[in-house]
């Protein structure tokens, strides 16, 4: 018998307007890296995986290079991130996350038909990868409007000067447009009007086999916090008013952008036609 009931603890700490958090919601998360580890842990603490399916995919192995900014510690080095996170989560919750499914898969293993056959309420993209953002957006756009899940993208900008989130709500896109590719593309980057920091010289470092972008553990934690707040807004109000949000770290004191509502952009391959019809 469990001495602590996880569901009771979660409901106790959620504001009344959040109702039951993610209890009863199906969630699918892509990525268990520096953002994804903290995000998955936080999603459980607002109800994911207790009453309904919480699926997480990541085909990477946890290495010593990850430890400085990852939720998981040294004891998990050499294990797949998905396996390691499941062990961590079950240990933290006395094995009360019965609906948690972790898989050593890549998002390219999934197509829109998978989500038609296995519908979810929310997809969380915690990879910070523009290519994954575009793949998920294309996947969701292929689905009938009434079947599309909400889609949340999270990423760290530069060397952690700020973090950003984009919320794709199918209901809003139907009448006003607005998806991740209304911000820019992998080929051209963010449009000037949506850049959180202009003329940024991002620091790059080189490891044994690849280059990497240095940023502190706070980057992943800030992005996760932003994501949870956007999800709670959705649970509380049924929508996210400003679907493009930015949070700056305390050291950054230069020009900033405000949270904003992104609508259809003429250059977007999915929303451009809608924009053209509205003007």
Are 164 and 245 in contact by the 8 Å Cβ rule? The answer is: yes
Domain for residue 260, yes or no?
Answer: yes
Domain for residue 1, yes or no?
Answer: no
Q: How many domains does the chain have?
A: 1
Domain for residue 269, yes or no?
Answer: yes
Domain for residue 213, yes or no?
Answer: yes
Q: In the numeric block, which tokens belong to residue 7?
A: 């569901």
Burial of 151 (0-12, 13-18, 19+ CB in 10 A): buried
Q: Give the max Cα distance, the chain.
A: 63
For 122-151, how does the pLDDT look when each residue is reduced to its tens digit (9 = 90+)? 999 999 999 999 999 999 999 998 999 999
Please list the residues that pair with 124 across neighbouring strands: 29, 152
Domain for residue 263, yes or no?
Answer: yes
Q: Which of 63, 89, 90 is nearest to 74 (CA)?
A: 63
Domain for residue 173, yes or no?
Answer: yes
For 84-108, how does the pLDDT look when each residue is reduced to its tens digit (9 = 90+)? 999 999 999 988 899 999 999 999 9
Are 34 and 48 in contact by the 8 Å Cβ rule? The answer is: no
> Where in the sequence is the domain holding 267, given as residue range(s)?
6-278
pLDDT, greater one: 205 or 73: 73
pLDDT at 1 over 50: no
Would you give the DSSP letter of residue 80? Answer: B
Reported as a pLDDT band with limits 50, 70 and 90, residue 257 is very high
Give the containing element (helix H, strand E) for 176: helix 170-176
Domain for residue 60, yes or no?
Answer: yes
What is the domain-level CATH number for residue 270? 3.40.50.720
Please name the residues in contact with 4: beta carbons below 8 A apart, sequence gap of 6 or more: 94
Q: How confident is the model at residue 193, as a pLDDT? A: 83
Domain for residue 204, yes or no?
Answer: yes
Would you give the DSSP letter of residue 183? Answer: S
């Amino acid at each position: 018998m469990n001495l602590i009931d996880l569901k009771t603890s979660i409901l106790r700490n959620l504001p009344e307007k959040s109702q039951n958090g993610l209890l009863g919601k199906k969630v699918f998360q892509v990525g268990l890296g520096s953002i994804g580890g903290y995000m998955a842990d936080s999603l459980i603490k607002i109800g994911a995986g207790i009453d309904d399916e919480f699926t997480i995919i990541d085909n990477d192995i946890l290495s010593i290079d990850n430890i400085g900014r990852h939720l998981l510690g040294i004891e998990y080095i050499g294990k797949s991130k998905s396996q390691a996170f499941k062990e961590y989560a079950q240990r933290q919750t006395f094995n009360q996350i019965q609906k948690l499914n972790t898989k050593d898969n890549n998002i390219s293993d999934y197509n829109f038909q998978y989500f038609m056959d296995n519908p979810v309420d929310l997809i969380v993209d915690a990879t910070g990868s523009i290519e994954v953002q575009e793949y998920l957006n294309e996947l969701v756009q292929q689905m009938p409007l009434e079947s599309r899940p909400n889609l949340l993208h999270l990423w760290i900008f530069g060397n952690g000067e700020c973090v950003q989130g984009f919320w794709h709500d199918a209901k809003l896109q139907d009448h006003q447009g607005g998806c991740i590719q209304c911000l820019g593309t992998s080929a051209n980057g963010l449009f000037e009007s949506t850049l959180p920091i202009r003329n940024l010289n991002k620091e790059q470092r080189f490891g044994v086999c690849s280059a990497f972008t240095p940023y502190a553990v706070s980057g992943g934690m800030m992005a996760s916090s932003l994501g949870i707040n956007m999800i709670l807004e959705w649970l509380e109000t049924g929508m996210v008013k400003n679907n493009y949000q930015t949070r700056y770290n305390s050291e950054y004191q230069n020009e900033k952008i405000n949270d904003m509502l992104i609508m259809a952009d003429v250059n977007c391959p999915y929303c451009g036609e809608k924009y053209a019809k509205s003007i």
